[in-house]
Amino acid sequence: MPSMKSVSISELNLDLSNFRTVKQVNETDAINAIIAINSNTFWALVGSILDDGYINTENIILLEENGKYIVKEGNRRIAALKIVLRKTTEIDISDSLQSKIMKLSSEWKTENSILPCLVYPQAESAQLDKIIALIHAKGELAGRDEWNAVAHARHARDKKGEKELGLDLLEKYLINGKNLSRNQSERWSGDYPLSVLDETIQKLYGLLGYKTGDEFVLAYPGKNKTKLEKIFYDIGMKRLGFAEIRNKSEDGFFGLQYGIIPPGTKEKSKKELISPKAPIPDAKKPEKKDPLNPKAYAPSDPKSVYSKLRNFTPRGQNRGPFKSEVRKAA
């Protein structure tokens, strides 16, 4: 059975296998990953603690494992407190927050250094996992940050043994990808349009010669690495979504802009397939009018009579001389 204990912040260990992100090496990396996933809400939490102190609206839940207290519920709050109480000094924070931290009294620090926690013994770790999953499955509660698609998929894979191809591919990309920054890697490890990536796998694996999505994921990084990483990046940047990948027209297939052309596609340049345009006809130049030799004259103008006589051809054999005589007469 769990028990309530007052535990010092110094004794609390962040969960390095937090479902919100990939497994971390140390607490500094874990805190940076939490911040990267949603920096606005995290720093708002730090600001709230500095202004009002730690308010125990809900329990911190711990797992006592091998003599250590592992935070299973409340990692964001404990990470914020560790920064405020300077239990970690390797996190970049704003000057305004740093100024507030430096002004904290010793009394404030003492009051907020020991927290009431609900502690589960190691033997009940499986039951605790179910409780944590239920807490976050209910939606966002006061002080909690709801699990997103990545966290749910990671829990389903790691605790229930379910297949999560999109998550497997994402985590491989975060390790092997050459076109993303460290901050993007940290953020996308816990906040990424995973459902879009799942559907992308289904759209691409057959076109690229794989029999199943499993083969496709297993093959990365390998063939088409650069093309695929551009797709993964654009999904993360939300430039590529369901609207694009569900376009069924030949010319609208999303893979074309990444150099992936479906077998049997008509021979066209990639540019034409992506953005077909009808050729623009050359504009006809207006004919220049010769003011000295207009095509039409007023009926009263003598040149009108001359024009008619010049083009007149009488019936008979002597056509040529007649025209020349007219010219002379004129």
**Confidence (pLDDT) at 228:** 96
Residue-wise pLDDT for 76-121, tens only, equals: 999 999 999 999 989 999 999 999 999 999 999 999 999 999 999 9
In the structure, what pLDDT confidence band is assigned to residue 291 with cuts at 50, 70 and 90? low
Counting every residue written for the chain, the total comes to 330
In the structure, what pLDDT confidence band is assigned to residue 278 with cuts at 50, 70 and 90? very low
85 Cβ contact partners less than 8 Å away, ≥ 6 residues apart: 9, 109, 112, 113
Task: Please check the confidence at residue 265 and state whether its pLDDT lies above 60.
Answer: yes
Percentage of the chain beyond pLDDT 70 is 76
What is the SS3 assignment for 131? Answer: helix
**Confidence (pLDDT) at 221:** 95
186 burial type by CB count under 10 A (0-12 exposed, 13-18 middle, 19+ buried): buried
**Confidence (pLDDT) at 30:** 94
Q: What is the mean pLDDT of the chain?
A: 83
Task: Please check the confidence at residue 21 and state whether its pLDDT lies above 90.
Answer: no
In the structure, what pLDDT confidence band is assigned to residue 322 with cuts at 50, 70 and 90? very low
**Confidence (pLDDT) at 316:** 55
What is the SS3 assignment for 70? Answer: strand
CA separation for the pair 227, 111 (Å, rounded): 54
CA separation for the pair 252, 246 (Å, rounded): 9
Weakest mean pLDDT among 201-210, 261-270, 275-284: 275-284
Q: What is the pTM of this model?
A: 0.58
Residue 144 CA neighbour count, 13 Å, CB half: 21
Asked if omega into 193 is within 30° of 0 (cis), the reply is no
In the structure, what pLDDT confidence band is assigned to residue 326 with cuts at 50, 70 and 90? very low
State the angle between helix axes of 194-204 and 149-160 in degrees (0 to 180), rounded to the nearest 10: 70
Residue 302 or residue 71, greater confidence: 71
Residue 326 or residue 74, greater confidence: 74
In the structure, what pLDDT confidence band is assigned to residue 169 with cuts at 50, 70 and 90? very high
CB environment 82-92: b (16+ within 10 A), e (fewer): bbbbebeeeee
How many helices and strands (H and E) does the chain possess?
16, 5
> DSSP secondary-structure letter at 282?
P
Task: Please check the confidence at residue 140 and state whether its pLDDT lies above 60.
Answer: no
- 91 neighbors 43 (Cβ within 8 angstroms): no
CA separation for the pair 314, 322 (Å, rounded): 8
**Confidence (pLDDT) at 182:** 87
CA separation for the pair 257, 9 (Å, rounded): 51
**Confidence (pLDDT) at 301:** 63
CA separation for the pair 135, 112 (Å, rounded): 25
Weakest mean pLDDT among 38-42, 140-144, 231-235: 140-144
Give the pair of three-digit tokens for residue 115: 């927290």
Amino acid at 39: S
Residue-wise pLDDT for 202-242, tens only, equals: 999 999 999 999 999 999 999 899 999 999 999 999 999 99
What is the SS3 assignment for 145? Answer: coil
In the structure, what pLDDT confidence band is assigned to residue 280 with cuts at 50, 70 and 90? very low
CA separation for the pair 251, 265 (Å, rounded): 9
State the angle between helix axes of 39-52 and 95-102 in degrees (0 to 180), rounded to the nearest 10: 30
**Confidence (pLDDT) at 234:** 95
- 215 neighbors 223 (Cβ within 8 angstroms): no
